[in-house]
Amino acid sequence: MSEPALGVVAVGNALVDVLAQTDDAFIEQQAEAHGMEKGAMTLIEETRAIELYNQIPAGIESSGGSAGNTMAGFASFGGSGGFIGKVADDDLGKIFQHDLRSLGIQFDTQPLVMGAKTGRCLILITPDAQRTMNTFLGASVELNAEDVDEDLIANAKITYLEGYLFDREQAKQAFIRAAELAHNAGHRVALTLSDPFCVDRHRSDFLRLVESHVDLLFANEEEIKSLYMQDNFDDAISAVSEHVEIAAITRGEKGAVIITKGEQIKIDAAPVDQVIDTTGAGDQFAAGFLYGFTEGKDPETCGKLGALAAAEVISHMGPRPEAIYKELISKAA
Amino acid sequence: MSEPALGVVAVGNALVDVLAQTDDAFIEQQAEAHGMEKGAMTLIEETRAIELYNQIPAGIESSGGSAGNTMAGFASFGGSGGFIGKVADDDLGKIFQHDLRSLGIQFDTQPLVMGAKTGRCLILITPDAQRTMNTFLGASVELNAEDVDEDLIANAKITYLEGYLFDREQAKQAFIRAAELAHNAGHRVALTLSDPFCVDRHRSDFLRLVESHVDLLFANEEEIKSLYMQDNFDDAISAVSEHVEIAAITRGEKGAVIITKGEQIKIDAAPVDQVIDTTGAGDQFAAGFLYGFTEGKDPETCGKLGALAAAEVISHMGPRPEAIYKELISKAA
């Protein structure tokens, strides 16, 4: 078998972010009226997306989506990759396509021609740099098993699955197909849990996926505790260590823990002058880790690359790199 | 006659900016092949817009347009205003509408339903913080005299016209109508020349407009020299002083000169820690000046407000305020 040409192919939601700054009072008022959750992601339907958009301040649009952000970071490290996800044939869809392709990411999933518009995430940033996300998935959830490009998957060392996609049944089928294709080709499958509430909604499916199909698991502290329904972090990581080759668990300013072969490796958070916007921290940690992994680095170096990328992305607005991550590599060595 | 409820109504191009960072080599290569001009604005057609977009890096989208930016700054000072301009009924059009309305700006021009898409400006930012603009005007140029809302104009102290609109004949008609409505209502007309090349293309029309209809003229050094075909700045300002009540001429880091009643008032540029992106400097100078003027301030204070707003906008990416300009007012006093 020849060496795959790509490092990572991601399967994820194709979303454009709308970033706007609000105060806590606005979040509280919306939380009361609509169940918005500060610091977390709430799924919304199209009518609510329009209503909420009409109430928020002027925004900045930029391509987002958890796995899309990770692939932008992965490309910034110098990795070559692909993306599988569904946009509509509209302005926002063209923006999402352009922004990934301009980074050299292969992205050829057919846009949805009739039906939902391109998905978007209304991200409200409060003065404490927390982001509160309201996602209208739109065309994203029309991704189905036929969109999973067999050749692309066979050509990548790692197939990386975004947990957020689990919110629709046919996307779950696409996940299973992608995982099976990757393993049949002798490659690895990675999963990011994405969100504790998403894990809550789909716990048994996530557990089945992790146990049967996942080699590398990315999660934060809340997500891994939610997956195993453990209040205690150590109990949660002892549970996960039985099921996956490597688990990389991020802990915000406490850094991260890598669990592999019964071992725990602590990774310190990289220093940041000023935290501006925490959007994309987990996505960029995954980018750095995946880049290190596909380059054959040891888990500790992978974790350090993740921490450096996460530190860069929280030092500015927006979930994708401003710096060139390739230049961070020497720092991690 | 009762006091108008609005400070300023702007008539301008409705454009969404796509900001992307490139190096000088890319600009040079494009300049050679397509006539792009570093630091200036080049008009492009839709096919060229698509071709160029495919070649530039991932971008950030945000509402722009010279007069739209000025109105965003004007609202940030606490001014109330309106906007007249043409978007299409598409995603970018909805973004442009939202971003102005969310600032409290009245904007009710009917979107174009069939035909061109919402206009956009591909802005390439080089490491020296210069911006090179490539504008596809799209639906913007479909603005016509019927779109000029008589009640809105009659209700504003100043009608502010964006010179860029002069690139299409029917937009010139809309300008004349707006100017006549404003003067009939006993109010003032302001014009920004926008771009030396735009002035070059339409010099005689601009001169007629300035001589017959304009009370306040905004321009930079290159534009005013181009208008009067003078190599010497002093000759250009002596020409303009004969035709308008006030001319506010910006000179980049040299600050600005206000010409009024045979007097020249020098305004120093406000200090900036680091120039990140000069996009919007002229637009925000106009915002500050117009706000001061509608509040009855003397020309020097108006100029200082303009300089403070310009200094804020060049200290970050993007052509609209990040800070709240209302908070700058005490600094100018």
| Amino acid identity for residue A149 in this structure | D
Is the Cβ–Cβ distance between A258 and A122 less than 8 Å?
Answer: no
Contacts for B157 with CB less than 8 Å, ≥ 6 apart: B4, B6, B7, B8, B187, B188, B294
User: Residue A47, Cβ neighbours under 10 Å: how many?
Assistant: 9
pLDDT band, very low/low/confident/very high, at A279 (cuts 50, 70, 90): confident
Mutate to test the interface with B, among A102, A123, A277, A316 (most CBs of B within 10 A): A102
Best mutation target, A17, A19, A46, A61, to test chain B (most B CBs within 10 A): A61
Residue A54: closest C-alpha in chain B: B98
Cβ(B189)–Cβ(B213) below 8 Å: yes
A23 residue type, one letter = D
CA–CA distance, A105 with A97 (Å, rounded to integer) = 9
Directed axis angle between helix A66-76 and helix A281-294, to 10°?
50
Q: How many residues does chain A have?
A: 333
Residues of chain A in contact with residue B62, where contact means CB-CB under 8 angstroms, are: 59-61
Which chain A residues are closer than 8 Å to B100 by Cβ? 58
Q: What pLDDT does residue A328 have? A: 82
Residue B325, pLDDT above cutoff 90: yes
Distances (CA, A) of B115 to A222, B46, B111: 50, 12, 11
Reported as a single tens digit per residue, the pLDDT across B238-290 is 999 999 999 999 999 999 999 998 899 999 999 999 998 888 999 999 999 99
E-assigned strand segments in chain B = 6-11, 15-21, 41-43, 60-63, 81-84, 106-107, 118-125, 131-138, 156-162, 188-192, 216-220, 246-250, 256-260, 263-267
pLDDT at residue B68 tops 80: yes
Percentage of chain A beyond pLDDT 70 is: 99
CA B296 to chain centre: 22
Structural domains present in chain A: 6-14+66-115+139-332 (3.40.1190.20)
Q: A54 to chain B, minimum CA–CA distance in Å?
A: 7
| Contact call for residues B77 and B105 (beta carbons, < 8 A) | no
Q: Do B90 and A91 touch (CB under 8 A)?
A: yes
Task: Check A58 against B118: CB less than 8 A apart.
Answer: no
pLDDT value at residue B277: 83
Residues of B with CB under 8 A from a CB of A: 53-54, 56-63, 72, 90-92, 95, 98-100, 102-103, 117-118, 318, 320
Chain A interface residues (partner B, CB cutoff 8 A): 53-54, 56-63, 72, 90-92, 95, 98-100, 102-103, 117-118, 318, 320
User: Regarding beta strands B131-138 and B118-125, do their DSSP bridges make them parallel or antiparallel, or are they unpaired?
Assistant: antiparallel
Q: What average pLDDT does this structure show over A327-333?
A: 78
Q: Would you say residue B331 has pLDDT above 80? A: no
Contact residues for B237 (Cβ-Cβ < 8 A; gap 6+): B224, B247, B249, B257, B259, B264
Rounded to 5 degrees, what angle do the CA atoms B82, B87, B88 make?
150
Contact A117 B91 (CB under 8 A): yes
Q: Which residues of B touch A60 (CB under 8 A)?
A: 60-62, 318
With CA atoms as reference, report the closest residue to B210 among B177, B243, B241: B243
CB A328 within 8 A of CB A306: no
d(CA A131, nearest CA chain B) in Å: 17
**Contact between A63 and B62 using a beta-carbon 8 Å cutoff:** no
Mean pLDDT, range B61-75, rounded to an integer: 97
Cβ atoms of A40 and A195 within 8 Å: the answer is: yes
Asked if residues A14 and A68 have their Cβ atoms less than 8 Å apart, the reply is yes
DSSP letter (8 states) at residue B278: -
**Between chains, do A98 and B60 touch, taking CB under 8 Å as contact?**
no
How many Cβ contacts (< 8 angstroms) between chains A and B? 56
Mean pLDDT of chain B: 93
A92 vs B91, B102, B320: nearest CB: B91
- Over pLDDT 90: what percentage of chain B? 81
| Contact list, A61 vs chain B (CB under 8 Å) | 60-62, 95
pLDDT reported for residue B1: 53
**Residue % of chain B over a pLDDT of 70:** 99
Query: Alpha helix (H) ranges present in B77-165?
Result: 91-101, 150-154
Residue B306 phi/psi, 5-degree rounding, is -60, -45
Angle at B279 between CA B230 and CA B11, to 5 degrees: 75
Q: What are phi and psi of A63, to 5 degrees?
A: -60, 140
Cβ separation A54–B98 shorter than 8 A? yes
Compare CB distances from A102 to B57, B60, B102 and report the shortest one's residue. B57
Mean model confidence pLDDT for chain A: 93
Candidate ranges A37-41, A219-223, B170-174; pick with highest mean pLDDT: A219-223
Contact B118 A91 (CB under 8 A): yes
**Is the separation of the CB atoms in A289 and A302 below 8 Å?**
yes
- Find residue A19's DSSP bridge partners: A60, A123
- Tell me the average pLDDT across A301-323: 93
So what's the pLDDT on residue B27? 97
Contact yes or no for B189/B158 (Cβ under 8 A): yes
**Percentage of residues in chain A having pLDDT higher than 90:** 81
Q: ipTM of this complex > 0.90?
A: no
A33-36's contacts with Cβ under 8 Å and 24+ in sequence apart are A36/A132, A36/A134
Residues of chain B with Cβ-Cβ distance to A318 below 8 Å are: 60
Per the CB < 8 Å rule, is B61 touching A98?
Answer: no
d(CA B13, CA B171): 10
Residues A237, A325: Cα–Cα separation, whole Å: 29
Cβ–Cβ below 8 Å for B98 and A59: yes
- Is A1's pLDDT higher than 70? no
- In chain A, residues with a C-beta closer than 8 Å to the C-beta of B59 are 62, 95, 98-99
Residue A111: pLDDT band with limits 50, 70, 90: very high
Q: What is the pLDDT of residue B80?
A: 97
Whose tokens are 């001169």? That residue is B207
Sheet strand arrangement including B156-162: B106-107, B81-84, B6-11, B156-162, B188-192, B216-220, B246-250, B256-260, B263-267
Of B61, B118, B320, the CB nearest to A95: B61
The strand pair at A15-21 and A256-260 is best described as unpaired
Q: Is the pLDDT of residue A54 over 70?
A: yes
B95 contacts in chain A (CB < 8 Å): 59, 61
